[in-house]
Amino acid sequence: MQRVKVLVVGAGVVGLSTAVCIAETLPHCSVTVVAEKFSPDTTSDGAAGILLATEFPDIPLERQRRWFKESFDHLLAIADSPQAGEAGVYLSSGYHIFKDVPCDKKPYWADLVFGFRNMTDQEMKRFPNHKFGQAFTTLKCECLSYLPWLEKRFRAAGGQILHEKVTDVHKLALNYDAIINCSGVGSRFLVHDEKVYPVRGQMLKVNAPWLKNFIRDGDGKTYIYPGMRYVSIGGTRQAGDWRMEVDKEDSEGILERCGRLEPSLRAGQVTGEWVGLRPGRANLRVEREYLPVRGRQVPLVHNYGHGGCGVTLSWGTALDALDLLRQSLYEKPPLARL
């Protein structure tokens, strides 16, 4: 049987997860990942990688729940295995605190993480400027370790890697039977999807190994995430801002806000600063279309626009993209429009 040639564009957490799902599940496919940037230079590499999600307004909640659950279960199995250290995946406990009681007092994933509960009055005393809080244990997936681990798994499944920037998708499609679009914020140029926009996030790496619990303000702008190598503190959410340079004022604001939440941070050393562009989109896009290429209809599966939850939903959306690809390989494509 002739092998089906599949091309995955993007080597962030979404692209590599999708590539692994396809290469391991569909052995008759030969899968290639093409990307301009690989670990440690993708947006995913700087993400704290904590599993928690905000809602996309127009995607059925059951679908978002399934994405969360599949990703959580997949990563929990890694955390529970001897591979956990190499893959950078482990359980992490902490607090989600709110200045005002949120309308939505229980996120859709509350029963998917462990031990979700309201914080007690005593716990809230540590945060005098906040009125309400939730405590839970979730997973943390550090892409600086997880992406190289996924890449190894991908190669072991026969996957191939190409290091280049894609400018013309039609030209690419000449040589492949299916294309999967996992280009993050790059989709704005690559697929001319104007609904994709950057949400700039700046964070600092701090050496403060005594910190073990995460603290996240519900507005998503202030957080402290202890990790294997450093504590990530942040942050910013600047929509439409493409600047990749570190902004001094942002750094000062981060230190000030995080120091207020966790005074012991003031004794920590800042060892690095980092900026990433979240692939913002009102609704994440996991969809299929067909690309007409010289009389053929090449399936094109989109998987991008994960915003601030790309790590959190990576495996679940990869499984959906796999399903869309699998269907298109068994279905007859629509007739080419004349």
Ligand X SMILES: *[C@@H]1O[C@H](CO)[C@@H](O)[C@H](O)[C@H]1NC(C)=O
Ligand Y SMILES: Cc1cc2nc3c(=O)[nH]c(=O)nc-3n(C[C@H](O)[C@H](O)[C@H](O)COP(=O)(O)OP(=O)(O)OC[C@H]3O[C@@H](n4cnc5c(N)ncnc54)[C@H](O)[C@@H]3O)c2cc1C
Q: Which residues are annotated as a binding site?
A: 43-44, 166, 223, 278, 307-312
Considering only residues 163 to 182 of the shown chain, the ones binding ligand X according to CB under 6 A are 166, 169, 179, 181
Backbone angles phi, psi at 300, to 5 degrees: -130, 110
Burial class (CB in 10 A: 0-12, 13-18, 19+), 137: middle
Question: What is the smallest separation between the CB atom of 50 and ligand Y, expressed in angstroms?
Answer: 4
With CB under 5 to 8 Å by kind, the binding choice for 186 among ligand Y, ligand X, none is: ligand Y
Segment interacting with ligand Y, rule: CB under 6 A, options 37-45, 92-100, 110-118, 127-135 = 37-45
**Residues 35, 199: contact at Cβ < 8 Å?**
no
Q: Considering the rule CB under 6 A, would residue 105 count as an interface residue with ligand X? A: yes
Structure tokens at 29: 């496919």
Q: Considering the rule CB under 6 A, would residue 234 count as an interface residue with ligand Y? A: yes
Closer Cβ to ligand X, 299 or 310, answer by number: 299
Q: Considering the rule CB under 6 A, would residue 306 count as an interface residue with ligand Y? A: yes
Segment interacting with ligand X, rule: CB under 6 A, options 190-198, 237-245, 249-257, 261-269 = 190-198
Question: What is the smallest separation between the CB atom of 225 and ligand Y, expressed in angstroms?
Answer: 7
Segment interacting with ligand Y, rule: CB under 6 A, options 29-37, 61-69, 76-84, 91-99 = 29-37
Please measure the distance between the N-terminal and C-terminal CA atoms of the chain and give it in whole angstroms. Answer: 30
**Residues 182, 12: contact at Cβ < 8 Å?**
yes
d(C-alpha 93, C-alpha 243), whole Å? 32
Residue reference for tokens 């499944």: 157
Closer Cβ to ligand Y, 124 or 141, answer by number: 141
Closer Cβ to ligand Y, 279 or 299, answer by number: 279
SS3 37: coil
Question: How far are the Cα atoms of 28, 90, 217, 227, 244 from residue 94, in angstroms, in the given order?
Answer: 44, 13, 11, 13, 29
Structure tokens at 337: 């429009």
Q: Considering the rule CB under 6 A, would residue 298 count as an interface residue with ligand X? A: no
Q: Considering the rule CB under 6 A, would residue 94 count as an interface residue with ligand Y? A: no
Residue 68 DSSP code: H
Question: How far are the Cα atoms of 20, 82, 163 from residue 159, in angstroms, in the given order?
Answer: 8, 24, 13
Considering only residues 162 to 181 of the shown chain, the ones binding ligand Y according to CB under 6 A are 165-166
Q: Considering the rule CB under 6 A, would residue 302 count as an interface residue with ligand X? A: yes
Closer Cβ to ligand X, 101 or 228, answer by number: 101
Q: Considering the rule CB under 6 A, would residue 300 count as an interface residue with ligand X? A: yes
The correct pick among 107, 268, 276, 280 for binding ligand Y (CB under 6 A) is: 276
Q: How many CB atoms lie within 10 A of CB 61?
A: 10
Please count the residues of this chain forming the interface with ligand Y, following the rule CB under 6 A: 42
Burial class (CB in 10 A: 0-12, 13-18, 19+), 88: buried
Question: How far are the Cα atoms of 204, 267, 268 from residue 211, in angstroms, in the given order?
Answer: 15, 12, 10
The correct pick among 74, 96, 130, 278 for binding ligand Y (CB under 6 A) is: 278
Structure tokens at 151: 């890449």
* Residue ranges at the known binding site for FAD: 43-44, 166, 307-312
Cα 41 from chain centre? 14
Per-residue mark of binding to ligand X, 252-291 (x: CB under 6 A): ---------------------------------------x
Cα 98 from chain centre? 23
Question: What is the smallest separation between the CB atom of 125 and ligand Y, expressed in angstroms?
Answer: 27
* Residue ranges at the known binding site for D-dopa: 223, 278, 308
Q: Considering the rule CB under 6 A, would residue 133 count as an interface residue with ligand Y? A: no
Residue numbers at the binding site for ligand Y (CB under 6 A) = 9-15, 34-37, 42-44, 46-50, 165-166, 182-186, 190, 201, 203, 234-235, 276, 278-279, 304, 306-312
